[in-house]
């Protein structure tokens, strides 16, 4: 894929990430004109200096990859990051999908409301495992998103240590249809050399999340 304007670089999918890896990711994103990067919270201190020359948007992942962190702890982390790193542009949060899958729909909605309020007007994205959800379940998350000023949905975590189905172009198409053009739809692609990224974009993705660690 030669057009990098739809690519989002990240280091969150790789659990072995050095300070040098993080810095190289940022400098490479700048050179290639990649418009956004998403970092883990632990990388933010290391990233401060190289980000001074990066003109794009910077997001941070919260409760990645499982979303199992207690909701109040997610809120605390978001608020702490805003206080310490006010230049952060967006939060990519894995909600407690186990709440919803256990029938605790109201609790799930309350969590997303808490996350939205904690973000203090900064962009908020929900990271789901859409290939494991039914259309009805995706529609419910869309409803939660629209009620709480959520900017978009990432269709999967991309964490390959999980035994979960990967989101395909058909998954992206289903999410895009549920969201009716009202939300950004971000897909994960692990190889930019083939045509997978183009197929995901054609299915309705507005951005492609790719590991910039190699």
Question: What SS3 state is found at 30?
Answer: helix
Question: What SS3 state is found at 123?
Answer: strand
Distance of CA 211 to the CA centre of its chain: 12
Burial profile 160-198: b = 16 or more Cβ within 10 angstroms, e = fewer: eeeeeeebbbebbbbbbebbeeebbbbbbbeeeeeebbb
Backbone phi, psi, residue 40, to 5°: -80, 155
Tell if the pTM clears 0.75, that is, is over it: yes
What is the CATH number for 120? 3.20.20.70
Contacts of 18 (CB under 8 A, 6+ apart): none
Residue 190's domain spans which residues? 4-211
Give me the pLDDT at residue 214, please. Answer: 65
Contacts of 25 (CB under 8 A, 6+ apart): 9, 11, 37, 212, 213
Per-residue confidence of the chain (214 residues) as pLDDT tens digits?
A: 678 999 999 999 987 888 999 999 999 999 999 999 999 999 999 999 999 999 999 999 999 999 999 999 999 999 999 999 999 999 999 999 888 889 999 999 999 999 999 999 999 999 999 999 999 999 999 999 999 999 999 999 998 777 889 999 999 999 999 999 999 999 999 888 889 999 999 999 999 999 987 6
Total structural domains in the chain? 1
Give me the pLDDT at residue 164, please. Answer: 87
């Amino acid at each position: 894929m030669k057009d990098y304007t739809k690519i989002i670089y990240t280091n969150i999918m790789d659990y072995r990430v050095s300070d040098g890896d993080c810095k190289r990711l940022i400098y490479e994103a700048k050179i290639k004109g990649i418009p956004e990067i998403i970092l883990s919270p632990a990388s933010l201190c290391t990233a401060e200096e190289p980000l001074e020359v990066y003109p794009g948007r910077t997001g941070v992942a919260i409760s990645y990859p499982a979303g199992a962190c207690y909701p109040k702890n997610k809120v605390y982390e978001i608020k702490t990051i805003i206080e310490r790193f006010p230049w952060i542009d967006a939060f990519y949060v894995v909600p407690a999908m186990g709440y919803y899958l256990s029938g605790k729909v109201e609790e799930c909605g309350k969590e997303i409301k808490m996350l939205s309020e904690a973000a203090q007007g900064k962009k908020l994205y929900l990271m789901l495992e859409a290939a494991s959800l039914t259309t009805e379940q995706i529609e419910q998350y869309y409803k939660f998103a629209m009620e709480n000023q959520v900017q978009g949905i990432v269709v999967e975590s991309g964490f390959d240590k999980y035994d979960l189905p990967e989101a395909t172009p058909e998954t992206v198409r289903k999410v895009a249809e549920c969201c009716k053009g009202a939300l950004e739809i971000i897909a994960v692609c692990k190889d930019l050399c083939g045509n997978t990224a183009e197929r995901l974009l054609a299915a309705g993705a507005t951005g492609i999340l790719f590991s910039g660690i190699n």
